[in-house]
């Protein structure tokens, strides 16, 4: 059944490869929210790949509710394509934060790490992996709250879908080889993101190279010494524990921040 989202769209908050996310006001009560409440409305493109992302996002967003993970209120489809209503997370995504601030204070990164680890722990407890943890898919508000968004590539642990691969710069090497989703692959991505937040540099690639490098395999050939600055011990240690190969040697999400 075609149902439009019960909202008035207000302004664009962001966009990714499959959808545009809008600030929106409810035109009727939804979940525990009253008429007029502000929400985020994700409008997916009307193509097969975006529809597949919608199907995964709607299912996982309904199944897992946790602090640190985007809270979903409703999902549906109208003649423009599929949509999801979710909690509005003000602020910026971590890619925008990095672009504007270059690097973040260590206590803030530790706090972001704990919040995102908590979101991963909840997904993993439900045997689901996020599959696309990267700076664009986590938000940070003014109060320091950080929330993991974009469940478009999330799937059951062990699932393998060639079309649902995350972003090369943050993807665990075994996923680039075609192995299935796993909690350890999410931990890899989180370790890379946190390292980048502290140092302003990707752990496996120097900043000038970053924009041209699209393959994490190429990135991994660069030695650690190629980093622009010498990072604090705790984040190097966290990064090392998160990005171990084989994946079975990686730390659990609960120990990403020691
Ligand atoms: N609930 C939300 N509140 C505020 N902004 C959001 C929310 N969800 C996503 N965004 C922003 O919109 C951008 C695109 O959303 P995302 O879900 O990642 O779409 P895509 O699946 O196309 O990558 C994100 O980078 C994020 O900054
Ligand atoms: Mg995204």
> Could you identify the atom of ligand 1 that is nearest to the CA of residue 70?
1
- Looking at the fold, whether 251 and 170 belong to one and the same domain comes out as yes
Count of domains in the chain? 2
Question: Domain boundary at 32, 66, 86, which?
Answer: 86
H helices within the chain, ranges in order? 48-63, 94-101, 106-125, 173-176, 183-199, 207-210, 216-220, 233-242
- pTM, entire model: 0.92
Report if residue 228 sits inside a domain.
yes
**Ligand 1 atom 14, closest CA:** 15
Q: Is 150 in the pocket of ligand 1 (CB under 6 A)?
A: yes
Task: Residue 151: count other Cβ atoms within 10 Å of its Cβ.
Answer: 30
191 occurs within a structural domain = yes
CATH of the domain at 147: 1.10.510.10
Q: Is the CB–ligand 1 distance for residue 251 below 6 Å?
A: no
Give the ligand whose atoms come closest to the C-alpha of residue 152.
Answer: 1
Q: Whose CA is nearest to atom 25 of ligand 1?
A: 136
Tell how far the Cα of 119 is from the centroid of ligand 1, in angstroms: 16
Residue 2 lies in a domain: no
Residues 214, 240, single domain; the answer is yes
Residue nearest to atom 22 of ligand 1 (CA): 16
- What would the pLDDT profile of 41-85 be if each residue is shown by its tens digit? 999 999 999 999 999 999 999 999 999 999 999 999 999 999 999
Q: State yes or no: is 132 an active-site residue.
A: yes
Give residue-wise pLDDT tens across range 233-253.
999 999 999 999 999 999 999
Residue 244 sits in the same domain as residue 141: yes
Say what the pLDDT of residue 52 is: 96
Is 15 close to ligand 1, i.e. is its CB under 6 Å away? Answer: yes
Q: Say if residue 234 is in the same domain as residue 131.
A: yes
- Check if the beta carbon of residue 64 is closer than 8 Å to that of residue 126: yes
Judge whether 1 lies within some domain.
no
Residues 70 and 115 in one domain: no
Tens of pLDDT along 213-223?
Answer: 434 444 444 44
Pocket test for ligand 1, best of 37, 73, 139 (most atoms within 8 A of CB): 139
Report how far residue 165's alpha carbon sits from residue 214's, in angstroms, rounded to the nearest whole number: 13
> Is residue 229 very low, low, confident or very high in pLDDT (cuts 50, 70, 90)?
low
98 in the same domain as 41: no
Q: Of 44, 65, 86, at which residue does a domain stop? A: 86
Hey, is 171 helix, strand or coil?
coil
The verdict on 145 and 240 lying in the same domain is yes
Whether residues 16 and 49 share a domain: the answer is yes
Indicate the pLDDT class of residue 227, thresholds 50, 70 and 90.
very low
Does one domain contain both 125 and 27?
no
**What pLDDT score does 226 carry?**
45
Q: What is the mean pLDDT of the chain?
A: 91
Instruction: Tell whether 62 and 179 lie within a shared domain.
Output: no
Structure tokens at 221: 């050939």
- CATH number at 32 reads 3.30.200.20
Q: Quick check: is 49 in a domain?
A: yes
Q: How far apart are CA 85 and CA 42, in angstroms?
A: 6
Q: Average pLDDT for residues 17-29, to the nearest whole number?
A: 98
Element (H, E) at 106: helix 106-125
Which atom of ligand 1 is the closest one to the Cα of 96?
A: 27
Residues 192-215: tens digit of each pLDDT: 999 999 999 999 986 554 444 434
User: What's the rounded mean pLDDT across residues 5-12?
Assistant: 98
Q: Is residue 210 part of a domain?
A: yes
- Say yes or no: 117 and 75 in one domain: no
Q: Is 171 in the pocket of ligand 1 (CB under 6 A)?
A: no
State whether 15 and 139 are in the same domain. no
pLDDT of residue 206: 62
What domain range is 229 assigned to? 92-255
97 SS3 class:
helix
Q: Which ligand lies nearest to the CA atom of residue 150 in the structure?
A: 1
Choice among 46, 47, 79, 132 that is catalytic: 132
Domain-terminating residue out of 37, 65, 86: 86
Over residues 113-149, the pLDDT tens digits come to 999 999 999 999 999 999 999 999 999 999 999 999 9
């Amino acid at each position: 059944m075609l149902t439009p989202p019960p909202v008035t769209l207000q302004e664009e908050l962001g966009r990714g490869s499959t959808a545009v996310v809008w600030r929106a006001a409810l035109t009727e009560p939804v979940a525990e929210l009253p008429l007029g409440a502000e929400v985020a409305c994700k409008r997916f493109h009307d193509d097969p790949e975006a529809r597949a992302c919608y199907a995964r996002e709607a299912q996982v967003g309904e199944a897992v509710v946790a602090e640190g993970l985007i809270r979903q209120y409703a999902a549906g489809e109208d003649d423009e394509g599929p949509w999801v209503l979710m909690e509005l997370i003000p602020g910026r995504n971590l890619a925008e934060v990095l672009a504007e601030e270059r690097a973040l204070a260590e206590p803030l990164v530790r706090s972001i790490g704990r919040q995102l680890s908590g979101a991963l722990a909840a997904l993993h407890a439900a045997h689901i992996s996020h599959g696309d943890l990267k700076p664009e898919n986590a938000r940070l508000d003014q109060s320091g709250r950080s929330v993991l968004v974009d469940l478009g590539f999330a799937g059951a642990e062990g699932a393998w879908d060639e079309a649902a691969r995350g972003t090369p710069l943050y993807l665990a090497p075994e996923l680039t080889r075609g192995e299935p989703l796993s909690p350890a692959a999410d931990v890899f991505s989180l370790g890379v993101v946190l390292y980048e937040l502290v140092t302003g540099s990707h752990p496996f690639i120097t900043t000038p190279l970053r924009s041209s490098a699209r393959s994490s395999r190429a990135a991994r050939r660069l030695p650690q010494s190629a980093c622009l600055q010498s990072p604090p011990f705790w984040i190097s240690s966290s990064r090392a524990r998160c990005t171990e190969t084989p994946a079975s040697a990686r730390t659990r999400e609960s120990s990403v921040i020691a």
